Amino acid sequence: MTRRILSIVTLGCLLALVAAAAGIDGQWVATMKVPAPKKQGGEPREVQFTLDLKSDGGKITGSVSGGTGRRAPTMTVDNGKIQGDKFSFTTTQKSRQGQERKFNWEGTIQGDELRGARTPDGARRGVEFTARRQ
């Protein structure tokens, strides 16, 4: 009897993990308020990103496009991980001068919504975002 209950609980946990992992697959549109550069002063501006994400077990792959500037870059998702309803990944953005800047994305899946923060590598705080499934 105890074995059967343990088996049912274990199976339920595995199914929940698989359902959460599949929950991130698809296209998402994220919005965030990005602070204006210190040189410019001014108000934060709203920026949109499109996240195309796919999970395979505990791994996330895909791309992120959009952002600021005339030519919004498309960045590859690196080091993507998903565990339960929590996810994390890294993107690398190249500037016009050829410099690379890494961003760490992490958050939670809440149905058809992702909530989290995008933090420049090495920074203490990031910019919060909300993404909705398309």
Residue by residue, what is the 3-state secondary structure of 13-70? HHHHHHHHHHCCCEEEEEEEEECCCCCCCCCCEEEEEEEEEEEECCEEEEEEEECCCC
The pLDDT-based confidence of 15 (bands split at 50, 70, 90) is very low
Above 50 in pLDDT, residue 21? no
Domain CATH for 96: 2.40.128.120
Q: Tell me the pLDDT tens digit for each residue of 22-63.
A: 599 999 999 999 887 777 677 888 999 999 999 999 999 999
Residue 109 host element (H or E): strand 100-109
Structure-token pair, residue 121: 């590598």
pLDDT at 95: 77
Three-state secondary structure call for residue 101: strand
Domain that holds residue 23: 2-133
Mean pLDDT of 100-126: 96
Q: What are phi and psi of 131, to 5 degrees?
A: -120, 140
Q: What percent of the chain has pLDDT over 90?
A: 63
pLDDT at 84: 94
Does this model's pTM top 0.85? no
Domain count, the chain: 1
